[in-house]
A and B are shown apart, each in its own frame.
Chain A
């Protein structure tokens, strides 16, 4: 009887760990049955399309969350990087534009971390508000910079081949953006799990006080996580507008929620310290699959927004119970 109980208990906890995975697998199954279009080549390409920008942002977000914080400014960063980069292709050339765009992402991230450090903010909640506010600022700057207008590739006569290849080019079997993703994933994974700095970030997220009292430079870790977050948001922005060949100053809307959702669903705890970029990749896949299925099943994009919010709440609640 005791054995039966403990098996049930183990099963229940396993189910809890992978509950969201199971739910979405279920959804995929149902969709594949109802809508055979799901398995078509063009749909799979579609899935890959959505995967690109989101995974970049989410990988960056993973670091911030492992470090014990959160970054709600990615939407604003994406907006800003997108409009600035695309606008500079013509006057400056595509390579400088690209580099400036990436640098801008780093600057935004660094700015976030400076605000957090200088104010002495220690908690995730304080970081939430500060970065939320910064998102508004970055978005506003994007609006001002672009005068609220959207820029298209076809407005640009200069060469934009780099961006075009990011958007739709291929290297052999894989798309260029997928290769970029793999390279960045590898770098980030190695950084997170195999370097001293990565370890420092985990320890900072695990227990800031203990980390500091063991000689770890917590401030440096905080700057690192936000810079990575900003940089990856910039990469995401570039992949995004290269894909859709336009950059509107509101292009980043909703990415912060999707990214956080992907990280949490992937299994990285919001409490910080533990997690993995690999898990986040899984989380992004799940989120994208979910959107795709809901699309095919005819659920409106508004309802999907609501579902995202609901799943976020559910995932956070689950995460909380797990850590208790």
Chain B
């Protein structure tokens, strides 16, 4: 082994990782130089977070080599990773809400810090160093997102980290807070700490990063010094595949206004209003936490709302719970199919028939044969791969599980089909099948509200796109004619409206 310190703090070579049904990382190679800010851009599903989780020890890689600070890293845990000097600040922050700032920074190191007093003293020191005025005795649950980030950064610094990975650090920060973050990044860099900066925001990438890597579909597409990239090139490499072959094309059967939603107001949403036409696929674009899921859940009666008005075909409907929504013509594929959508230990048959029980019930009694037919039909028309209708849905692949949920709703032919991340965790083949299905539904006059974190998906399937930022609609676009980065900017709260 070299005794000379390599110029790279981190070397990743041919790392692959697969989950059931999905290849998240496909021979990823990446080298991060010491003392610089290395940006990573890519869409959701590109593999960025999987790679980060492998680096930090949450996941274990299937194959490949990782060398950090001259050491080969095999099986590691998050704690070991931190101790080695590799810190990661996640988007979903890794703090204990019920404990104080100081204790969170030194979680598990109480004795090292010589108790409460030492903990808070050192914590204050760390926070002062990065210019944060957060009180160390405050409970984390009382902090704003940017304050929580500061705590995470302080935590990383407390480990004398050599490499800090920031995953979408600015997604919930105000402009002033961004300025603070920028200062801190420059400070860290001056101290010789290397930073991996993962972000959607091209402006920041261009501002902070020295070298940029683009990831897509589990590969690193390109790595170049920032000055050698142009904006368009970056976007192209992020989303630009040969788009046509991946998507079946849009449906062109948009008709009259079907759904009219006025002023949804909840704790997170502010005066959200929009319309939806027959045969239209409406995409909701926004960052994680912007409020897209909240909007559709409010519509579907899954969450309480402060106020809103919903009109379908001109008639006002009052939806207080999912059953009302279903009666009014809604269907809903939830974000997390395992927790919210499926009853995992139950059969494929039961899972498909769940929403249409009245259809196969006579005088209160279930007609088993009718139920079987319904399930068999959906299995056939959706090509659901399952050994039998009685198989536990838990044993199916992600794509087939999702198809069960789709089949569940198709059975009752909803007028308005809400799909929240319908292709998450599904292999490419199954994705295409679902896209085709969506097109069919639209062509037959059904309307779809589509939420997806994969920008290409939304842009290619939707007839119209709404951008959501911090609980508000910030723009309405035609994805066929509007450039992608314009839409993204609106989703990041930067630019105004355009039709």
A: which residues have CB within 8 A of B? 194-197, 199-200, 202-203, 206-207, 209-217, 273-274
Contact = CB atoms under 8 A, between A and B. Distances in A.
A196 B366 contact: yes
Q: Determine which residue in B326, B343, B350, B364 has the highest number of CB atoms from chain A within 10 A of its CB, and name it.
A: B343
Nearest to B355: A214
Contacts of A203: 343, 346, 350, 354
Contacts of A202: 346
Interface string B397-408: 000000000001
A196 B321 CA distance: 19
B344 interface: yes
Contact of B340 (A200, A209, A215): A209
Contacts of A207: 339, 342-344
Interface in B322-364: 322-323, 325-327, 332, 334, 339-346, 350, 354-355, 357-358, 361, 364
Contacts of B366: 194-196, 199
B302 interface: yes
A324 to B, nearest CB: 12
A267 to B, nearest CB: 14
A256 B380 CA distance: 47
Instruction: Place the interface of chain B in its size category.
Output: 20 to 34
B346 A214 contact: no
Contacts of B322: 212-215
Contacts of B357: 196, 199-200, 216
A201 to B, nearest CB: 12
Contacts of B361: 195-196
A213 B341 contact: yes
A213 B339 contact: no
A97 to B, nearest CB: 31
A202 B345 CA distance: 11
Contacts of A195: 361, 364-366
A211 B339 contact: no
A213 B332 contact: yes
Interface string B362-375: 00111000000000
A207 B357 CA distance: 16
Nearest to B367: A194
Q: Determine which residue in B332, B345, B355, B358 has the highest number of CB atoms from chain A within 10 A of its CB, and name it.
A: B345
Question: What are the 4 A-B residue pairs with the smallest beta carbon separation, nearest first?
Answer: A206-B343, A215-B326, A214-B355, A207-B343
A203 B326 CA distance: 17
Contacts of A197: 364
Given A197-B364, A199-B366, A207-B343, 6 more contacts: A194-B365, A209-B340, A210-B342, A212-B321, A214-B326, A216-B357
Contacts of B334: 210, 213
Contacts, number: 71
A211 to B, nearest CB: 7
Nearest to B353: A199
B343 A273 contact: yes
B354 A216 contact: yes
Q: Determine which residue in B323, B354, B361 has the highest number of CB atoms from chain A within 10 A of its CB, and name it.
A: B354
Nearest to B346: A206
Contacts of A200: 357
A215 B322 CA distance: 5
Interface of B: 300, 302, 321-323, 325-327, 332, 334, 339-346, 350, 354-355, 357-358, 361, 364-366, 408
Contacts of A199: 350, 357, 366
A212 B323 CA distance: 8
Given A210-B340, A217-B323, A196 B408 contact: no
Given A194-B365, A197-B364, A211 B326 contact: no
A197 B321 CA distance: 18
B342 A215 contact: no
A216 B124 CA distance: 51
A211 B346 contact: no
A209 B365 contact: no
A210 B354 contact: yes
A215 B345 contact: no
Given A203-B354, A206-B345, A206-B346, A213 B365 contact: no
B346 A273 contact: yes
A273 B345 contact: yes
Nearest to A217: B323
A215 to B, nearest CB: 4
Contacts of A194: 365-366
A218 to B, nearest CB: 9
Given A200-B357, A203-B343, A214 B408 contact: yes
Contacts of B364: 195-197
Contacts of B340: 209-210, 213
Contacts of B342: 207, 210
13 contacts: A195-B366, A196-B358, A196-B365, A210-B354, A213-B300, A213-B322, A214-B355, A214-B408, A215-B325, A215-B355, A216-B357, A217-B321, A274-B346
A196 B364 CA distance: 6
A95 B209 CA distance: 85
B89 to A, nearest CB: 30
Contacts of B321: 212, 217
A200 B355 CA distance: 10
A210 B340 CA distance: 5
A211 B354 CA distance: 8
A88 B261 CA distance: 59
A210 B393 CA distance: 13
Nearest to A206: B343
Q: Determine which residue in A194, A199, A207, A215 has the highest number of CB atoms from chain B within 10 A of its CB, and name it.
A: A215
